[in-house]
C-alpha cells in the first residue's frame, strides 16, 4: 500500500516538473490504424488519448452537475488535491469538500482544456482553466489547474489536482 502512495506521489511530482513544457510536448504515436482517429481539430488520437480526454471532461462535467456519484467515480481513491497551499489526501476528504460546494445553489463551473498529454496508456496530464461563476453574487473566479490522471484496471481516474485561484 505504501508503495502505491509513493508511486502516486512520484507521478504528481513528475507532473509538476513536466507541466512547463506540456504546451509544446506531444505524445509518441504508437497507435495502430484500428485504434487511431482524427479529432475535430485534425489531431491524431489513440484510443487511450480519447479515453483520457473523456475522463477529463467527465471530472469537470460531474462537478458542474453537482453529481456526487459521478464525481466520486472519476476520483482515484488515493487522490491528492492541492489548492493554493492546502492539501487534501484521499477521495473521501476531497468528496467532503465537494459535497459542501455542491450544497451551495446558483453557481456554474465552466472550463477549457489548454493542453493534454498522455504517457503510454497509464498516465496523463491536462492543463486547464475554469470559471466558477456565481451570478447572484456577481462573481466570476478564474482557476488555473493541472489534472494528473492514471489508468488502473482499464479505467482513467483523477490522481491529483493542483489548483490556483487566479482571480
What the chain holds in terms of domains, given with CATH numbers, is 2-19+46-165 (3.10.450.50)
pLDDT of residue 106: 96
pLDDT in tens, the chain (167 residues): 444 444 444 444 444 433 333 333 333 333 443 355 555 555 567 899 999 999 999 999 999 999 999 999 999 999 999 999 999 999 999 999 999 999 999 999 999 999 999 999 999 999 999 999 999 999 999 999 999 999 999 999 999 999 999 98
**pTM of structure:** 0.75
User: How high is the pLDDT of residue 167?
Assistant: 80
Tell me, what's the pLDDT at 23? 35
Give residue 141's pLDDT. 97
CA nearest 159: which of 9, 47, 16? Answer: 9
Cα 12 from Cα 9, distance rounded (Å) = 5
Q: Closest Cα partner for 50 from 64, 31, 65, 22?
A: 31
Q: What is the C-alpha to C-alpha distance for residues 130 and 110, in angstroms, rounded to an integer? A: 5
SS3 10: helix
Q: What is the model's pLDDT at position 142?
A: 98
- C-alpha cell at position 112: 477549457
Amino acid at each position: 500500500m505504501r508503495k502505491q502512495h509513493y508511486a502516486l506521489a512520484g507521478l504528481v511530482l513528475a507532473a509538476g516538473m513536466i507541466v512547463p513544457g506540456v504546451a509544446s510536448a506531444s505524445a509518441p504515436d504508437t497507435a495502430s490504424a484500428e485504434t487511431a482517429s482524427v479529432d475535430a481539430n485534425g489531431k491524431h488520437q489513440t484510443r487511450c488519448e480519447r479515453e483520457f480526454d473523456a475522463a477529463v471532461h467527465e471530472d469537470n462535467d460531474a462537478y458542474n452537475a453537482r453529481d456526487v456519484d459521478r464525481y466520486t467515480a472519476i476520483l482515484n481513491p488515493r487522490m491528492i488535491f492541492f489548492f493554493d497551499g492546502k492539501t487534501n489526501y484521499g477521495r473521501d476528504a476531497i468528496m467532503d469538500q465537494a459535497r459542501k460546494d455542491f450544497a451551495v445553489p446558483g453557481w456554474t463551473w465552466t472550463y477549457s482544456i489548454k493542453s493534454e498529454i498522455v504517457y503510454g496508456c497509464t498516465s496523463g496530464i491536462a492543463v486547464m482553466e475554469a470559471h466558477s461563476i456565481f451570478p447572484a453574487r456577481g462573481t466570476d473566479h478564474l482557476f488555473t489547474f493541472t489534472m494528473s490522471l492514471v489508468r488502473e484496471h482499464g479505467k482513467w481516474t483523477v490522481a491529483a489536482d493542483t489548483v490556483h485561484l487566479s482571480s
